[in-house]
Structure 1
Amino acid sequence: MTNHEEAAAVRPLTLAWVNRQLEVGERIVRTEARRGGITAEMRRLTIGTRNAGTRDLVLRTFVNVEHAEDWLNREAGALTLLPGTGVPAPGLVAADPTAAHCEYPSFLMTHLAGRTVLDDEGLETRVPRLARQLVAIHALRPAERPREYVALTTADTVVTPNGADAAAWAAAIDVIRRPAPTYEGRFLHRDFHPGNVLFDVPPSKPASARITGVVDWAATSWGPADLDVAHCSTNLALLHGPAWGQRFAEVYEEAGGVLAAAASERLYWRVRDGLAFSQEVQMVSQPWREAGRTELTTRAVEERLDAYVTTLMNALG
């Protein structure tokens, strides 16, 4: 068995659980390990149907991950309410958040067409589409709200990169020592960024890229729209340069989104998210390199994060 085949293989208990979710006469004919996940193993399962056709499912497995039960319950809740809203998301097939049936907490969902796009080419077209999609997510008003957002980073846990602008980082850390601003709550994806959005990109017309799906709803929360915008902004800044991090908030408002009125409040949310990345640069950059952005070494991403935080303090501080 090759390494790829071993990675794609589904564990015995999980395999039996998946088989129980299939229609009579269906069977798994192929499994494929997928790259890109930070916290979970991802597998694409091709299902042979009774009429000799196929359909695809996606299996997420959380191996020794803290809070896996909570994440899977939240994702299941989100995917239950999204059908009919116009937000393209996977359909829930089954969930085993406590590993009652599987070796590890697992989640089975429908497969969406499209792929993540992390390249610089075509960014001018994709960013407005990302903004419009996020505005649509924030417009959702579920009958039952998800739990309030959680921000784990504190002023004392920030890791200032080597060679960073010490004065700018000290000022930024002081910003998040303040109490969080008041806000009007919105339905948040809470991990909205290019790595969690699927696009259909015609090979001959990259400018015609369209969104086919938004995935990874495990952190769904209720909180300020600024927080989701800040998270996508930081990702864009690290992937494509600080200017794109700044630009995303502008495009979000152009698409009809509403952010905090005061510059100090906007700064708080943007800086809070940017500083959160200081603790996990290596973790977030590795999937980008695996996806082909080999130039995004840990050091290169640290330098972009420093430039972005400095830009925020100069522009809004």
Structure 2
Amino acid sequence: MTEHDEAAAVRPLTLAWVSRHLEVGERIVKTEVLHGGITAEIRRLTVGARDGSTRDLVLRSFVDPFYVERAEDGLDREAGALTLLKGTGVPAPGLVAVDPTAAHCEYPSLLMTHLAGRTVLDDEGLETRVPVLARQLVAIHALRPAERHGEYVALTTADTVVTPKGADAAAWAAAIDVIRQPAPPYEGRFLHRDFQPGNVLFDVPPSSPADPRITGVVDWAAASWGPADLDVAHCSTNLALLHGPEWGLRFAEAYEEAGGVLAAATSERLYWQVRDGLASSEEVQVVARLWREAGRTELTTRAVEERLDAYITALMDALG
């Protein structure tokens, strides 16, 4: 979903910075706000050449004071990830330029190429998309970068979990006790760290809706090094909240069916699943709003909280 109005205008210093990274004779002819992000403003810039041809770039700028303070690390991670991914076969944007400390722009910013495709958040066709998502994540985890990204960050603690009203108190208390324990040992992998349907672009041909193809994986600002289980758990949580708890449980199976390797012990797998599920409790309201804006109008905050409760309960039942 896009809009084209005064709010889409690029700020003067940022516009000058972007212009320095265009080809000779190119200029920005249109800007559009892209919706769906939580941490940053995102704009699509249509760039025109002298011969009348155009191409699109994407500008991400961190403007909220909370995220500005953390922007340098995130933009450095994203720039490093996009550089690493070039030529790997993982469909990611190409890096054009980055200003992580706002040395040239009004706010910390990153400029990258635009990818075709769209996010698909509908229930329809989910059974065909889940295996495709799983195969893509396996391909990401198969990368072996010469230089490791920084270790993963997990900010949620037992004290920051927000138990939804009316939730299964016993299940949530048990789940919170799980993340009081030390993290299990793991074999490190290159992680996207926010791999979920909102960051995956699809081409779904109208003539063949059962044959979706991923055209892009975006938002690499949290790229890091850590357990494959954590990426799987994050996508599982999002699927559970978008489509129902059973789909959260199904994704780990699809990942293994695609050749991915998870922790050997069930208790270790569930540690990561529970940790990510509990982490989502802190941002249910924001995520639900973004999904409603994307067309899932039935996903009220309360509806998402109920799905989260059902998912946490199902995970704890599996833990026994």
Scaled by the length of structure 2, the TM-score of the pair is 0.97
- SS of aligned partner of 2:36: coil
Provide the C-alpha distance between the structure 1 equivalents of 2:71 and 2:205, rounded to a whole number of angstroms.
36
Could you give the per-residue CA deviations for residues 261-292 of structure 1, whole angstroms, max 9, x where no partner exists?
11110110000000001111011121111100
**Which of the numbers 58, 70, 82 marks the counterpart of 1:67?**
70
Provide the C-alpha distance between the structure 1 equivalents of 2:6 and 2:300, rounded to a whole number of angstroms.
28
Provide the C-alpha distance between the structure 2 equivalents of 1:76 and 1:23, rounded to a whole number of angstroms.
20
Gaps of 5+ in 1: none
The aligned runs of 1:1-317 (5 Å cut-off) are 4-63=4-63, 64=65, 65=67, 66-317=69-320
Provide the C-alpha distance between the structure 1 equivalents of 2:7 and 2:319, rounded to a whole number of angstroms.
46
Letter paired with 1:43: R
Provide the C-alpha distance between the structure 1 equivalents of 2:31 and 2:276, rounded to a whole number of angstroms.
36
Provide the C-alpha distance between the structure 2 equivalents of 1:32 and 1:141, rounded to a whole number of angstroms.
36
Kindly report the root-mean-square deviation, in angstroms, between the aligned alpha carbons of the 2 structures.
0.9
Cα deviation, residue 218, structure 1: 0.4
Structure 1 stretches of at least 4 aligned residues deviating more than 2 Å after TM superposition: none
- SS of aligned partner of 1:154: coil
Provide the C-alpha distance between the structure 1 equivalents of 2:201 and 2:142, rounded to a whole number of angstroms.
20
Provide the C-alpha distance between the structure 1 equivalents of 2:6 and 2:37, rounded to a whole number of angstroms.
17
Cα deviation, residue 316, structure 1: 2.4
Provide the C-alpha distance between the structure 1 equivalents of 2:110 and 2:84, rounded to a whole number of angstroms.
16
Scaled by the length of structure 1, the TM-score of the pair is 0.98
Cα deviation, residue 4, structure 1: 4.5
Could you give the per-residue CA deviations for residues 125-179 of structure 1, whole angstroms, max 9, x where no partner exists?
1100000000000000100000111110011111110000000000000111111
Question: How many equivalent pairs are there?
Answer: 315
> Please, which moves more after superposition, 239-248 or 8-17?
8-17
Cα deviation, residue 207, structure 1: 1.1
Identity %: 85
- SS of aligned partner of 1:55: strand
Cα deviation, residue 92, structure 1: 0.2
Cα deviation, residue 51, structure 1: 2.4
Could you give the per-residue CA deviations for residues 35-91 of structure 1, whole angstroms, max 9, x where no partner exists?
111111111011102322000000001002230111001100000111111100000
Letter paired with 1:136: A
Provide the C-alpha distance between the structure 2 equivalents of 1:61 and 1:206, rounded to a whole number of angstroms.
34
Provide the C-alpha distance between the structure 2 equivalents of 1:280 and 1:134, rounded to a whole number of angstroms.
24
Provide the C-alpha distance between the structure 2 equivalents of 1:289 and 1:105, rounded to a whole number of angstroms.
28
Provide the C-alpha distance between the structure 2 equivalents of 1:7 and 1:122, rounded to a whole number of angstroms.
35
- Asked whether the 8 Å contact 2:175–2:316 carries over to 1, the reply is yes
Provide the C-alpha distance between the structure 1 equivalents of 2:132 and 2:302, rounded to a whole number of angstroms.
30
Cα deviation, residue 234, structure 1: 0.0
Gaps of 5+ in 2: none
Cα deviation, residue 297, structure 1: 0.8
Could you give the per-residue CA deviations for residues 2-37 of structure 1, whole angstroms, max 9, x where no partner exists?
x84122111111111111110110011111111111
Provide the C-alpha distance between the structure 2 equivalents of 1:149 and 1:35, rounded to a whole number of angstroms.
26
